Amino acid sequence: MSHGKLIVSLSPHVSSPDHVRRIMLDVVLALLPAALWSVYLFGFQAVRVIFVSVAACVICEYCIQRFLLKVPSSVDDGAAVVTGLLLAFNLPSNIPNWMIVVGGFVAIAIAKMTFGGIGNNPFNPALVGRVFMLISFPVAMTSWPVPLANRGQMIDAVTAATPLSIAKEGLKNGIASDQLMASLPNYWDLLIGQRGGCLGEVSVLLLSLGGLYLLYRKVIQLEIPLAVISSVFIFSGILWMVNPQTNMSPLFHILTGGIFLGAIFMATDMVTSPMTPAGMIIFGIAIGILTVVIRVFGAYPEGMSFAILIMNAFVPLIDRFTKPQKYGKLKHG
Amino acid sequence: MQKKFRIKTFPAGGVHVDECKFSAQRPIESLPLPGVVTTPVLQHFGAAATPIVKAGDRVKTGQVIAQANGFLSVNIHATIAGTVARIDEAMDVSGYKRPVIVINADGEDWVEGVDLSRTLKRKVELSSVEIIKKVQQDGLVGLGGAGFPVHVKLSPVAGKRADVLLINGAECEPYLTCDHRLMVEKGPEILVGVVILMKALNVSRAVIGIEWNKQDAIAHLSALASDFDGIDVVALKACYPQGAEKQLIEALIGKQVPIGGLPIDAGCVVQNIATAFAVYESIQKNKPLVERIVTVAGEDLKKPSNFRVRLGTSMAALIEAAGGLPESTGKIISGGPMMGKALNMLDIPVIKTTSGILVMPQERSKRDPVVNCIRCARCVKHCPLGLEPYLLMNLAEKERFEDAENEVVMNCCECGTCAYVCPAKRPLLDYIRLAKTFITQRRKEKAVK
């Protein structure tokens, strides 16, 4: 008895139901609450920025694969959608469309496809796009529409500085931090996201909700977010304890800017983060320290993007020195 | 009151694979005697046995037809009475032609002195040395999959001593239920088998590890074990590869086997549940290894079953008895889905190490398309041996085998967990095997020089 069409392959003959597209879908789902919140805060402008950014990234990847590399396109894996979403999350809501397209192009074409596409990029593409825009269009990238106030507005939105830049300016001009806090949103408002800033970074609560979903789905591990947030808290706390008048409180540091967005969604990017728990903790702590250093001593009020990009460069080195414990080398006999 | 169990497991890696134990509640059935048996002379790890019969000879069930060729070899027996038709070659599960002895069966005529009754015989009369000699004569090998001769594991090694005997009842491969059924149905015999193995090894302690998804077997064996001195039953977490030798040892006694070492280096010897049963039959009943339990399972199979099968029976007969080959069949696997071998034909004999036959439907038979590695680190996190499969694959692809050797690729047990968890569906294990094959080859060449 023989059977003509039996498939022969090597073991294992089963594979887990998880695949790359499912992982990307999970990230999109996890970003959804914060995206909806941004629409609530910034109205139609938020929808516009997200749409243009995602479209720019997806079209850019598709065109490069189909017309330049002449290979089947892999945009259906959803990675370009995630990059587009994350880029949009890192932009103010009144940014002009053409600038978003430039950012999307840099993210996909330069930061991702030149290295060989998904999996091969050493730096987080969305952050490369954002930092390129921050340096190229400093004014547009740092004017922040006031939340809720002008949701219907297409242009001429009323803008105001973010809590972080108010704090930075204030401290530079010698105003004590407790005085500054009186004029800034309180911690509760910072937690739920009643403040100005980039589209997706404002609601710490909703970003954490997305983070919990990713933890549940095992897309991310706790090590990186925990290391980043606690390292920012501890190092800004040390500075604050040394001189509470000239430094903002650690709670203010972790609730403002892009700490939660960066810690949960950007630093945990699989492609550009270390492989082992020990490596992830080193990576996260270093990002936290760099962020505080840039915020306190640097020229920019926020340092999250730079900190993550700098540490992305160290990932191969970290992986080399934090190998998993091999079986059979530890205890025996 | 049911006894409370503390569930143990190995510390690093592993993954819970969908269990699919369709035949767990199917009692063991004896398959009707085959008309022809095809008996390979190599069914174990080691040297092939030497045939001592020729075409036309009459043989009885249980008669030696091929003799052990040296220490790392065991006898092969006629699994049925009849006439030797020819000494030939036939395909094995790996797709290679191997020497076989074909017997045309004509009945159930056992050799003298075999006790076929069901009475339990508890008292062990043979001495340690006699037991070790007898299991080689009776053709006993590890029935879990590797087929390592039992007497070799039992023989003392100079300067090394086992303190404890470990019995592997984990059965962590999905679908397979043959060991499970044996534990439920042949508990007392298995425990006497364990006592015999303890006597042969001269140890006073034995631990039986069983995955928590077989609670009936755990309850049954631990109740019986209270009657025996020094035998403990331990519940293990249902986590693949709990039944891999190194993982089982660490889960049960907390020791690791050094790289390149054997379980004896961790002070233990591991035997499978089915092996313990076969040892009982050999020592107490004088019955050589002529049959084993084989699980036949699959999503679309009409009657997933556990069969008691004469070795040398064609796998086609087992599938027929389980309701026939379903229309949807895309792949047939000898063994479990994680480590088993895919077959390109059905007419392959059941041998001592055949634990199961899986019939996979078409839609589960093909591999998913491979995409780029996204460095998700799941292979690293789940590798039970602390290796970095993504790195080993990269090194093998670039033919940097020396670097792969430095990354301890040879310690890989090929459990397949890395390839199972990979979301990019990369053939990690294929490339690791490539590196291992190349390194083994080169070591052999060096040894020759």
pLDDT band at B137 (very low <50, low <70, confident <90, very high): very high
**A139 in contact with B, Cβ within 8 Å:** no
In this complex, which of B260, B331, B417 lies closest to A6 when CB atoms are compared?
Answer: B331
Pairing of strands B356-361, B291-297: parallel
Digitized pLDDT (tens) for each residue of chain A, 333 residues in all: 444 688 999 999 999 999 999 999 999 999 999 999 999 988 888 999 999 999 999 999 999 999 999 999 989 999 999 999 999 999 998 899 999 999 999 999 999 999 999 999 999 999 999 999 999 999 888 888 888 776 655 555 677 778 888 888 888 888 888 888 888 888 888 888 888 888 888 889 999 999 999 999 999 999 999 999 999 999 999 999 998 888 889 999 999 889 999 999 999 999 999 999 999 999 999 999 999 999 999 888 889 999 999 999 999 999 999 999 899 875 443
Q: Structural domain of residue A26, as residue ranges?
A: 20-141
Closest residue of B to A331, CA-based? B256
What confidence score (pLDDT) does residue A333 get? 39
Q: Look at residue A202 and tell me if it is in a domain.
A: yes
Q: Please indicate, yes or no, if residue A273 is contained in any of the structural domains.
A: yes
Domain identity same for A134 and A177: no
Q: Which letter does DSSP use for residue B8 in this model?
A: B
Which pLDDT score is estimated for B357?
Answer: 96
Q: Give residue B143's pLDDT band: very low, low, confident or very high (50, 70, 90).
A: very high
Residue ending a domain, among A107, A141, A175, is: A141
Alpha carbon distances (Å) from B445 to A172, B442, B448, B449: 72, 5, 5, 6
Spatial CB neighbours of A317, under 8 Å, sequence gap ≥ 6: none
Per-residue pLDDT tens digits for B1-57: 455 678 999 988 999 999 999 999 999 999 999 999 999 999 999 999 999 999 999
Q: Can you read off the two tokens belonging to residue B61?
A: 């069930």
CA B222 to CA B422: how far, in whole Å?
A: 38
At which of A109, A141, A173 does a domain end? A141
Are β-strands B268-272 and B164-169 bridged in parallel, bridged antiparallel, or unpaired?
parallel
B372 touches chain A (CB under 8 A): yes
Of A6, A8, A119, the CB nearest to B374: A119
Q: What part of B 250-279 touches A (C-beta under 8 Å)? A: 250, 254-261, 265-267
Per-window interface: A 69-128 vs B, CB < 8 A: 74, 77, 79, 116-120
Are B335 and B175 a contacting pair, CB within 8 Å? no
In a domain, A205, yes or no: yes
Strands B76-77 and B81-91: unpaired
Residue B421, chain A, CB below 8 Å: the answer is yes
What are the structural domain ranges in chain B? 1-19+116-366, 29-107, 378-448
Separation of alpha carbons B240 and B238, rounded Å: 7
Question: Cβ distance B51 to B88 under 8 Å?
Answer: no
Give me the mean pLDDT over the B120-134 stretch: 93
| Phi, psi angles (nearest 5°) of residue A296 | -85, -45
Contact indicator for B264, B160 with CB cutoff of 8 Å: yes
Chain A closest-CA separation from residue B342 CA (Å): 5
Q: Quote the Cα angle for B367-B368-B373, to 5°.
A: 115
How distant, in Å, are the alpha carbons of A53, B183, B205, B227 from that of B121? 78, 17, 21, 14
| Contact (Cβ atoms closer than 8 angstroms) between residue B80 and residue B32 | no
- The CATH code of domain B1-19+116-366 reads 3.40.50.11540
Q: How far is B367 from chain A (nearest CA, A)?
A: 8
Residue A150 lies in a domain: no
Structural domain contains residue A181:
yes
% residues pLDDT > 90 (chain B)? 89
Of B314, B331, B377, the CB nearest to A13: B331
Q: Do A171 and A314 belong together in one domain?
A: yes
Per-residue model confidence as pLDDT tens digits over B83-101: 999 999 998 888 889 999 9
Q: Does A84 share its domain with A179? A: no
pLDDT score recorded for residue B249: 95
Place of tokens 């004017």: A143
Query: What is the reported pLDDT for A153?
Result: 57
Report yes or no on A13 lying in a domain: no
Q: What percent of chain B has pLDDT over 70?
A: 99
A9: contact with B, CB 8 A cutoff:
yes
Among the four given CATH numbers 2.60.40, 2.40.50, 3.40.1560, 3.30.70, the one describing domain B29-107: 2.40.50
DSSP string, B49-106: PEE---TT-EE-BT-EEEE--SSS---EE-SSEEEEEEEEEEE-TTS-EEEEEEEEEE
Give me the pLDDT at residue B2, please.
52
- B236 band by pLDDT with thresholds 50, 70 and 90: very high
A95 and A135 fall within a common domain: yes
Find the Cα–Cα–Cα–Cα dihedral B121, B127, B128, B130, rounded to 10°: -90
Question: How many residues are present in chain A?
Answer: 333
Which helix (H) or strand (E) is A117 found in, with range?
A: none
B371 token code pair = 């995409």
Q: Name residue A56's amino acid.
A: A
Give the containing element (helix H, strand E) for B234: strand B231-236
Are A91 and A32 within one domain?
yes
Q: Does the N-terminal peptide bond of residue A12 adopt cis geometry, omega within 30 degrees of 0? A: yes
Quick check: A104 and A53 in contact, CB under 8 A?
A: yes
Any chain B CB within 8 A of the CB of A65?
A: no
Q: Searching chain B, which residue's CA lies closest to the CA of residue A21?
A: B423
Point out which residues pair with B306 in neighbouring strands.
B28, B295
pLDDT of residue B189: 96
- Distance from the Cα of A4 to chain B's closest Cα (Å) equals 8
Shared domain for A200 and A281, answered yes or no, is yes
pLDDT at A300: 86
- Kindly state whether residues A249 and A126 are assigned to the same domain: no
Closest CA to A183 of A158, A165, A198, A202: A165
Asked, for residue A203, whether it belongs to a domain, the answer is yes
- Helix, strand, coil percent content, chain B, rounded in steps of 5: 30, 20, 50
CB B169 within 8 A of CB B183: yes
Cβ-proximal residues to A177 (8 Å cutoff; 6+ apart), any chain: A167, A171, A240, A244, A245, A246, A247, A248, A249
Q: Shortest CA distance to B340 belongs to which of B124, B94, B21, B142?
A: B94
List, in sequence order, every beta strand (DSSP E) within chain A: 144-145, 159-160
Verify cis geometry, omega within 30 degrees of 0, for the bond prior to B241: yes
Q: What is the pLDDT of residues B275-312, one digit of tens each?
A: 999 999 999 999 999 999 999 999 999 999 999 999 99
Q: What is the ipTM of this complex?
A: 0.89
- Provide the number of structural domains found in chain A: 2
Domain boundary (A126, A141, A156) is at A141
CB-CB under 8 Å, B346 with A333: no
A16 has a chain B CB within 8 A of its CB: yes
pLDDT tens-digit map of B428-439: 999 999 999 999
**Residue partners of A114: CB distance under 8 A and separation at least 6:** none
- A30 lies in some domain: yes
Which residues is B334 bridged to in the sheet? B341, B357
Asked if the Cβ–Cβ distance from B95 to A8 is below 8 Å, we say yes
Question: Least CB-CB distance to B420: which of A3, A10, A14?
Answer: A14
Give dist(CA A269, CA B375) in Å, integer: 9
